[in-house]
Each structure stands twice: as structure tokens, then as C-alpha cells.
Amino acid sequence: MSETRFHVLPDSLATNGRRIAFRKTEGIGPTLVFLPGYMSDMAGSKATALFDWAISQDRACLLLDYSGCGESEGTFSNGTLSRWRDEVLALLEAETQGPVVLVGSSMGGWLMLLCGLQLGNRLAGLVGIAAAPDFTQWGYDPDQKALLAAGETLLEDNPYGPEPTPTHAAFWQDGQALLLLESEIALDCPVRLLHGQADEDVPWTIALQLAERLRSDDVQVVLVKDGDHRLSREADIALLLRTVDALSRTVAP
């Protein structure tokens, strides 16, 4: 079944619970789970390309929208990494069985690490696309951090749309409590990191830092010299699908 469905989470702020939108297709191999970036959702080009490919290859795949994003209920300003991590984990527990491969884009690359640390032996692999762990630390200057620390909302120019990109104080403060690049990341699964060297949002050197911090010995970094942050061109998506295919085939169904 590939239509949008909803998983209800207990929520003290909502009488009927938090409804998280997801799409799922059954198939063989580890379940491929796509984690969108900041202010993105499961209707994005990379997510839909992965899902369509999974259907064509009879692979299990799960897409989702975090609360306050896409088709899920909630308010975006209430979103934090902790909240969205817990939503992903709850959905995985309810809707999947066996090993999973997490595919995280930008902020989703940070979330895939946070989720992976909670999944234990269910985690079969990670694929990061311009993964952006710790961006609350390196992505803001001292003045912006001071504004956020004071509880204010930061508004920045959005290169992908007409409305400014907001960073809410609660999101930033939560992110600062979940920094990963300052110490070893205790994950031992295969990891593939795709990153464009023309990325103006997340420096490609973050991929190298992440590779160094991961405890796993099976880590590969692929740099796309002319690739931008989105890595959503036809050739970029083909690279993503080849990478996911090769990694997932190493894991027994």
C-alpha cells in the first residue's frame, strides 16, 4: 500500500494524539527509511525517487513527515530534533520489522544518527545526503546564537522559496544538547556519505568530520565536485539509488 496513512502518537497537547503521515511499501531486504531535511517532507524529489525505485525493485520502504511538516499534524515551531527523533522511532517500532537502512538528507542526516544510536542491532546501514549533524553549532554566527539563546526566533533568507527560513529557539537549544561531532559516534554499521563540493549550506568537510567520528570501519565518503546541497539532479539521484542498492544488498533479508 502506497497511499498516505497516519500513525497516532500519544500527545499530552492533543486529545486525539499526534498524527504522523507516512507512506509504506512492502518488499524484501532491509526497510529503507527516508528522513527529510529541515522544512522538507516526503513529497520531495529524493524521497519520491527512492520510494518509486523501491516499488519497482520489490524493496521495503517507508517515508514519513515529521509533525508540523507535510501532511502530518502539528505546528512547525514546536518541532525539535528530539521530538522528530522520537516520532521516527515510534513509527519504526509500529510499522516495520527487522533491519532498517536509514537514508537522511541534510538535517535528516543528523536525525539518522540520533535514531541509529537507539536502534541497536536493527540498524543495518546509513546513507547520508549532505548530512548536517551539529548544524546548530557550526551553522550560526555568535550574534545569531545569542539571539536564539535569548529565546528569539531567527529568520534567514530562503534560497529555495519566497518565505524566510525560521529557526526557533527551542529547536536550536535542543540541537545544542544533541551534538555528536565532539566525540566518537558509537555506530558500527556500514555508512555511505554523499556530499556535493558546491554545497553552500553544509560544507563538504562536515562529511569528512563525520566519517572520522563514526566508530564503524565501513565508512565511505563520495564527493560530487559540482554537486549542490540538494543533490537532486538526475545523476545525483542515480548515484543515491546505486548507493542504497549496493549497501542494502550486503544485509541479509
pLDDT tens across 168-218, in order? Answer: 999 999 999 999 999 999 999 999 999 999 999 999 999 999 999 999 999
pTM of the model: 0.96
pLDDT surpasses 90 at 252: no
Residue 203 lies in a domain: yes
Does residue 153 form part of some domain? no
Would you call 221 exposed, middle or buried from its count of C-beta atoms within 10 A (0-12, 13-18, 19+)? middle
Residues 6+ apart with CB under 8 A from 115: 35, 85, 88, 89, 92, 102
Q: Is residue 65 part of a domain?
A: yes
Statement: residue 90 has pLDDT above 60 = yes
Residues paired with residue 30 on neighbouring β-strands, in sequence order: none
Is residue 106 assigned to a domain? yes
First to last CA, the chain: 20
* E strands present in the chain: 5-9, 18-25, 28-35, 59-64, 100-105, 123-129, 154-156, 165-167, 191-196, 219-224
Q: 12 lies in which domain range? A: 5-139+183-249
SS3 label, residue 208: helix
150 located within any domain: no
Percent of the chain predicted with pLDDT > 90: 91
Q: Does residue 68 form part of some domain? A: yes
**Are 199 and 206 a contacting pair, CB within 8 Å?**
no
Which CB contacts under 8 angstroms, 24+ apart, belong to 170-173? 170/77, 170/78, 170/80, 171/79, 171/80, 171/81, 171/136, 172/136, 172/140, 172/145, 172/148, 173/148, 173/149
CATH number of residue 123's parent domain: 3.40.50.1820
165 falls within a domain: no
Q: How many Å apart are CA 171 and CA 17, to the nearest integer?
A: 21
Which cell goes with 245?
542498492
Q: For the chain, what is the total number of helices (H) and then of strands (E)?
A: 8, 10
Catalytic machinery residues: 106, 199, 229
When divided into structural domains, the chain yields a total of 1
Lowest average pLDDT, out of 9-13, 110-114, 142-146, goes to 9-13
The mean-pLDDT minimum among 8-12, 126-130, 176-180 falls in 8-12
Does residue 208 form part of some domain?
yes
pLDDT at 12: 46
